[in-house]
């Protein structure tokens, strides 16, 4: 017997009125769906549900506040109509007890219509396909591939990585010296390695202090070994050019180690109307987090508390900005597995993520996601080591005393010896010191200051907290938890005049300003006594006529060529270093003095890069895996060979507050070009940011220097 009935259901919750359900079609069985409180089980979240990995208590807060969630039970609107159009009642005929002879009479309101439906069974895990750079891609994901591969179905790849429908051979015009010598057709160019060729000799892959044994002629000389200079060296050497990269001090000696350790997506530039810079930042963020250095980056939840300091107008503007930032993420083809979508939180959820916030004025929160680096100096060292692994000659303690477009004069800061090197091109990537090498460059540096706090000052803070700066509409102070247990508070933007110092020093005015801004957001705000360290960096901003404040100056990079032929790259920011390097080499090649292949760094993983699943399988200690990726085992094996010590000695941290180990210090001396105690504690590890921690770690650093200096065995590991 088949029938159709109209149900009148009254909610059991007070304050709700009875609602009449639509007439059900005969033979139409209800469709099982997941409730809001079961959205984390069994399947990927739909667009209407959250797609981040926050704790389940936080995720279900809104559902607990609204028992009659529209995602549970009947759902009206276009979605319900679409389901009705696609249902096939014929498929359900003859099923169930209603259609069997002698079946007992059923109640009009079936139990499963009154009760909350149970979730479906969990989906079985599917094997992931490896991508360039070690990033895994789930076959169930429907995002587009990276630009150039996602729109043409013929370019899809099989599970083994090969193209499903490979194209036939294509013709292209060869240059006069493209891939062969002029005097012998078909042979390779003399003295030039094929693009992407790694050097087999282990010794040549290491960064070396001093200038002993440098070549007298190369294709490209790069001056400066911050993130920009290291990126230019990597880009040039992977195009097949011979490279000499030098720095007067050490890797990451300047601005590159004084950043917020964030991989920004350009939201601030979007608020200023700088769409091109915002999109470029979002694209480079995706490349860095998914291809280039997934082992050194991680998604960071960024929480903006909605309290008395956030008016309704500013809250609406901030929420719109976060959605605009998510549009940037989608246009950059960064997946929600890397950076989830933004969402609103109630007060309970907000306090669960940051219990130190003031609860009396808290109305809720806005949650978004951005990228965070393990360490900015660690990224510079890894980029430089990757360039060296492809054949670049990377030297520290090498000061440039004079430069033209085809020649540089160098002085060894260790021995005092002088050298001259001929080059096809000279690139000036010295940042705020660019004017010292090219007097035609006019810069207007800006100082950004950060404070360092112990994690216990703001306990259990698991997310970055954004506090609005009074008197501004789009600027925030940031409270940033770090992997080593400390917390950074920043960021200021103050103009700098006069000579550029080697190590900038924060002013007391900036320290008091940052403490005052964040004080309004926390129950027990940090005080001056809680500040255990502070650091400042100088941004190399181009001087622009009409700009009153350094905050108004564009962060877009510029590439200039002097009358002497030196190519200078300035501006930009850490996130876009790869694009800056690519544009610089394109300008150099356009001048016609060198010939090389296209840029390869957009799909080139750095040393140690791997997917999260592969990193989880590493047996090395978690700190080494975080900082070295798949090379964590090499770090430990090198330390064993050089010192002859057991793992207990090599992996014991300096103290409870200083997690640095002897193994990573030894590896810094043998493979990363560290020369003295300052290199070890200030740039290879960041212990020097806290003066008290530096004192604790100094004996461990001296022990590493002694062990490497007295090691009797030659180092044979790569």
Asked if residues 652 and 699 have their Cβ atoms less than 8 Å apart, the reply is no
pLDDT at 225: 98
Residue 696 lies in a domain: yes
**CATH number for the domain that contains residue 422:** 3.50.50.60
Residue at 618 is within a domain: yes
Strand partners, 297: 373
User: Burial, 363: exposed, middle or buried (Cβ in 10 Å; 0-12, 13-18, 19+)?
Assistant: middle
Whether 465 and 479 have beta carbons less than 8 Å apart is answered as yes
* DSSP secondary structure of 508-546: HHHHHHHHHHHHTTBSS---GGGEEEEEEEEE-PBP-TT
What would the two tokens of residue 651 be? 């992996």
What residues does 296 pair with on adjacent strands?
none
Long-range contacts of residues 44-50, Cβ cutoff 8 Å, at least 24 apart: 44/140, 50/340, 50/341, 50/343
Domain membership flag for residue 183: no
Please tell me whether residues 597 and 469 are part of one structural domain.
no
| DSSP-derived secondary structure for 54-97 | --HHHHTHHHHH-SS-TTSS---SHHHHHHHHH--GGGGTT-SG
The CA–CA distances, whole Å, from 10 to 107, 108, 276, 294, 351 equal: 17, 15, 54, 52, 35
- Listed residue (423, 394, 322) closest to 365, CA to CA: 322
Quote the tokens at residue 505. Answer: 């020093």
Pairing mode, strands 297-306 and 364-373: antiparallel
Statement to judge: residues 436 and 300 lie in one domain? no
The pLDDT of residue 201 is 46
Whether residues 414 and 270 fall in one domain: no
Last residue of a domain, one of 539, 567, 585: 539
For strands 476-481 and 464-468, give the pairing. antiparallel
Q: Quick one: 559 and 582 in the same domain?
A: yes
Task: Identify the pLDDT of residue 555.
Answer: 61
Same domain, 282 and 302: yes
Instruction: Report the distance separating Cα 378 and Cα 296, nearest Å.
Output: 8
What global pTM score does this model have? Answer: 0.75
Which pLDDT score is estimated for 641?
95
Are the C-beta atoms of residues 582 and 603 closer than 8 Å to each other? no
Q: Does residue 484 form part of some domain?
A: yes
Residue 355 contacts residue 362 (beta carbons within 8 Å)? no
Domain that holds residue 674: 612-710
Residue 282 lies in a domain: yes
For tokens 């159009």, name the residue.
Answer: 85
Low-confidence ranges of the chain (pLDDT < 50): 1-19, 21, 23-49, 56-100, 103, 106-107, 109, 111-155, 157, 159-161, 163, 166-192, 201-204, 545-553, 712-718
The pair of structure tokens assigned to 126 is 């599917």
Alpha-carbon distance 557 to 279, whole Å?
14
- Virtual CA dihedral for 150, 151, 154, 155, nearest 10 degrees? -30
The confidence score (pLDDT) of residue 471 equals 85
Phi then psi for 200, rounded to 5 degrees? -80, -25
Q: Which of 438, 371, 377 lies closest to 230 in space, CA to CA?
A: 377
Distance between CA atoms of residues 124 and 241, nearest Å: 48
CA angle (86 as vertex; 82, 92 as ends), nearest 5: 130
Q: Is residue 102 part of a domain?
A: no
On whether the CB atoms of residues 410 and 215 are closer than 8 A, the answer is: no
Residues sharing a CB contact under 8 Å with residue 61, sequence separation 6 or more, in sequence order: 345, 346, 348, 349, 352
What HEC string does 324-385 produce? HHHHHHHHCCCCCCCCCCCEEECHHHHHHHCCCECCCCCCEEEEEEEEEECCHHHHHHHHHH
First to last CA, the chain: 78
Based on the domain organization, do 284 and 249 belong to the same domain?
no
Question: What are 362-403's pLDDT values in tens digits?
Answer: 999 999 999 999 999 999 999 999 999 999 999 999 999 999
How does strand 208-209 pair with strand 129-130?
unpaired
**DSSP state, residue 9:** E
Domain endpoint, select from 566, 584, 603: 603
Q: Quote the tokens at residue 246.
A: 């030098």
Same domain, 460 and 588: no
Six-digit token pair at 122?
Answer: 């969990």
Q: Contact at 8 Å (CB) between 271 and 380?
A: no
What separation in angstroms does the CA of 337 have from each of 136, 260, 341? Answer: 10, 23, 10
State the chain's mean pLDDT as an integer: 79
Query: Do 474 and 434 fall into the same domain?
Result: no
CA distance linking residue 603 with residue 625, whole number of Å = 22
Task: Specify the 3-state DSSP secondary structure of 417.
Answer: coil
The angle subtended at Cα 379 by Cα 533 and Cα 511, nearest 5°, is 20
Neighbours of 472 (CB within 10 A): 10
**Residue 451 shares a structural domain with residue 484:** yes
Same domain assignment for residues 417 and 456: no
Decide if 117 is inside a domain.
no
Q: What is the 3-state secondary structure (H, E, C) of 589-645?
A: HHCCCCCCCCCCHHHCCCCCCCCHHHHHCCCCCHHHHHHHHHHHHHHHHHHHHHHCC
DSSP at 556: -
Q: Are residues 428 and 357 in the same domain?
A: no
For the chain, the domain total comes to: 3
Residue 106 within any structural domain of the chain: no
The CATH number of residue 494's host domain is 3.30.9.10
Per-residue pLDDT tens digits for 110-129 = 544 444 444 444 444 444 43
The reply to whether 658 and 700 lie within a common domain is yes
């Amino acid at each position: 017997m088949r029938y159709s009935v109209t149900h009148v259901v009254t909610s059991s919750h007070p304050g709700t009125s009875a609602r009449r359900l639509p007439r059900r079609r005969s033979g139409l069985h209800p469709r099982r769906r997941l409730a809001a409180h079961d959205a984390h089980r069994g399947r990927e979240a739909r667009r209407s549900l959250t797609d981040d990995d926050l704790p389940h208590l936080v995720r279900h807060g809104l559902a607990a506040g609204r028992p009659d969630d529209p995602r549970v039970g009947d759902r009206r609107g276009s979605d319900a109509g679409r389901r009705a159009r696609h249902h096939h009642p014929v498929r359900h005929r003859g099923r169930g007890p209603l259609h069997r002879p002698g079946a007992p009479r059923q109640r009009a309101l079936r139990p499963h219509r009154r009760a909350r439906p149970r979730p479906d069974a969990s989906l079985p895990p599917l094997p992931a396909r490896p991508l360039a750079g070690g990033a895994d891609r789930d076959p169930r994901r429907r995002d587009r591939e990276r630009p150039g591969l996602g729109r043409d179905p013929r370019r899809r790849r099989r599970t083994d990585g090969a193209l499903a429908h490979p194209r036939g051979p294509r013709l292209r015009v060869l240059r006069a010296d493209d891939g062969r010598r002029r005097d012998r057709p078909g042979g390779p160019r003399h003295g030039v390695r094929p693009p992407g060729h790694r050097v087999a000799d282990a010794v040549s892959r290491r960064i070396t202090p001093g200038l002993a044994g440098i070549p007298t002629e190369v294709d490209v000389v790069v001056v400066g070994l911050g993130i920009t200079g290291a990126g230019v060296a990597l880009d040039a050497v992977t195009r097949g050019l011979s490279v000499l990269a030098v720095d007067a001090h050490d890797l990451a000696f300047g601005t590159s180690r004084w950043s917020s350790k964030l991989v920004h997506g350009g939201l601030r530039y979007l608020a200023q109307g700088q769409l091109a810079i915002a999109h470029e930042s979002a694209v480079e963020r995706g490349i860095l987090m998914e291809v280039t250095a997934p082992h050194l980056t991680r998604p960071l939840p960024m929480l903006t508390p909605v309290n008395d300091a956030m008016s309704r107008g500013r809250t609406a503007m901030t929420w719109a900005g976060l959605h605009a930032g998510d549009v940037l993420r989608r246009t950059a083809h960064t997946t929600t597995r890397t950076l989830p979508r933004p969402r609103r939180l109630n007060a309970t959820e907000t306090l669960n993520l940051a219990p130190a916030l003031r609860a009396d004025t808290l109305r809720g929160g806005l949650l978004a996601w951005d990228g965070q680096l393990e360490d900015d100096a660690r990224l510079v060292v890894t980029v430089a080591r990757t360039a060296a692994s492809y054949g670049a000659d990377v030297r520290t303690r090498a000061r440039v005393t004079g430069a033209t477009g085809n020649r540089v004069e160098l002085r060894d800061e260790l021995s005092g010896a002088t050298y001259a090197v001929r080059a096809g091109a000279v690139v000036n990537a010295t940042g705020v010191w660019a004017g010292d090498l090219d007097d035609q460059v006019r810069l207007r540096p800006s100082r950004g200051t950060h404070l360092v706090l112990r994690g216990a000052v703001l306990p259990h803070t698991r997310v970055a907290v954004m506090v609005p700066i009074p008197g501004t509409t789009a600027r925030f102070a940031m409270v940033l938890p770090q992997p080593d247990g400390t917390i950074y508070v920043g960021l200021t933007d103050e103009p700098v005049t006069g000579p550029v110092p080697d190590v900038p020093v924060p002013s007391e005015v900036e320290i008091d300003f940052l403490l005052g801004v964040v004080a309004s957001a926390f129950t027990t705000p940090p005080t001056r006594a809680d500040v255990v360290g502070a650091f400042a960096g100088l941004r190399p901003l181009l001087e622009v006529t009409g700009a009153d404040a350094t905050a108004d100056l564009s962060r877009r990079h510029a590439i200039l060529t002097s009358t002497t032929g030196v190519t200078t790259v300035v501006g930009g920011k850490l996130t876009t270093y790869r694009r800056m390097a690519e544009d610089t080499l394109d300008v150099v090649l356009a001048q016609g003095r060198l010939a090389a292949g296209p840029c390869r760094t957009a799909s080139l993983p750095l040393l140690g890069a791997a997917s999260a699943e592969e990193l989880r399988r590493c047996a090395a200690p978690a700190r080494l895996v975080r900082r070295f990726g798949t090379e964590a085992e090499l770090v430990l094996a090198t330390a064993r060979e050089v010192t002859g010590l057991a793992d207990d000695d090599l992996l014991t941290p300096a103290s409870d507050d200083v997690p640095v180990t002897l193994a990573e210090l030894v590896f810094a001396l043998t493979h990363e070009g560290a020369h003295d105690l300052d290199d070890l504690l200030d740039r290879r590890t960041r212990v020097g940011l806290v003066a008290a921690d530096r004192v604790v770690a100094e004996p461990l650093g001296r022990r590493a220097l002694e062990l490497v200096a007295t090691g009797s065995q030659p180092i044979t590991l790569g």
